[in-house]
Amino acid sequence: MMVGVMVACSSVSSIKALWETRIRRKREEQEEEHKRRTTRGGATGRLGVGLWEDRAALARLKQKLETEDGRLVLRIEQEEWKVLPGCLIQLSQVQEWQIHRTGLLKIPHFISSFQNLLVLDLSRNGVAEIPKQIGKLTRLRELLLSYNRIPFVPAELSGCESLERLELAMNRDLNELPDQLGMLSRLQHVDLSMNDFSCLPACLLALPALEWLDIGGNRLHHLPEDIHRMEALHTLWLQRNELEKLPENIARMRSLDTLVLSSNRLRDIPPLMEGMSNLRFVNFRDNPLTLDVTLPSNKAVAEEEEEDDREMFGKEFMLMYIQEARKRAYAVLNVHCVNQSDGESNDESSA
């Protein structure tokens, strides 16, 4: 009897275990199926949302298109666009970007797709990097990135062979340029003001077409002796630096007609600058020059004329300073000669 009971219990336990196993497996299969459906549904949902966002962004960007002087211009002003969407690549026919005060953080790598781009103006944003892909824009004429956070310029920028204007003012930590930029044979205008340069980048001396350079508000301690290699340069801004002297070869810059040297540490003016007949405007204001030279009053000047207006005649001051320095040098020389002659006379008398 006991054997029969044990067999019956064993059979019931086996059947129970079998059904529990089947139920567990069924539950697991249902859970897996639910997960698969949820995943597919979520991916589809996200894809749908992504497509909708791209379409909305593209429609918004198309509203920013303008035609100016026959160019198709993308203009965004004072709107938040920290990142430019990938759908922008569908507007690759745009020839000019004007994107200012948007908080833009980076130039997208797909910038190389804009082969028709002539002007890239991203001034007053938060851009912290110039991508290497920018070097593929062989038709780009103007790159304007002033008032951003760029600490470094890639050598690949030299691939922009049509570049005529480069503005990198007020990027603060920028303190050097790659030598390869010297290959930009059409570059005429460079603005490096208010950065952290301690010397003039060597690549600038190699630019054959450079006509206008502003590197004021940096930490320049000296200028290169071969500065006259910038043969085409007609305007040079060097204000608010730490220059203590000027190289004599600056007098050999035959094209230079505007030279701003205010707020430096200059002690003297090279005498050879007297021969710079091409120089129209020069400014030595706020420098600790050795000689105290004051321009004579000009009665022909109207009484109401401001003192700063006379500052426009900085060349007059420069010439007067050089003449005064020469007079004093001659006077010192004469005194030395007289003293030497008197000494010789006393020696002869003693003999």
In a domain, 123, yes or no: yes
Residue 148 near residue 171 (C-beta atoms within 8 A): yes
Q: Which domain holds residue 276?
A: 71-149+158-296+308-324
Half-sphere exposure of 217 (CA within 13 A, CB side): 14
Q: What is each CA distance from 71 to 77, 111, 141, 310, in whole angstroms?
A: 18, 18, 13, 43
> Based on the number of CB atoms within 10 Å of its own CB, is 252 exposed (0-12), middle (13-18) or buried (19 or more)?
middle
Q: Could you say which DSSP state residue 331 is in?
A: H
Residue 302 lies in a domain: no
Q: What is the CATH number of the domain that holds 114?
A: 3.80.10.10
Domain count, the chain: 1
Residue 243 domain flag? yes
Per-residue pLDDT, 25: 72
pLDDT at 65: 97
Spatial distance between the Cα atoms of 130 and 153, rounded to a whole number of angstroms = 7
Tell me, yes or no, whether 52 lies in a domain: no
> Model pTM?
0.80
Per-residue pLDDT of the chain (351 residues; tens, 9 = 90+): 444 444 444 555 666 666 667 667 767 666 666 666 554 544 444 445 567 788 888 999 999 999 999 999 999 999 999 999 999 999 999 999 999 999 999 999 999 999 999 999 999 999 999 999 999 999 999 999 999 999 999 999 999 999 999 999 999 899 999 999 999 999 999 999 999 999 999 999 999 999 999 999 999 999 999 999 999 999 999 999 999 999 999 999 999 999 999 999 999 999 999 999 999 999 999 999 999 888 877 655 555 555 554 554 589 999 999 999 999 877 666 665 655 655 555 555 565
The tokens of 70 are what?
Answer: 């026959």
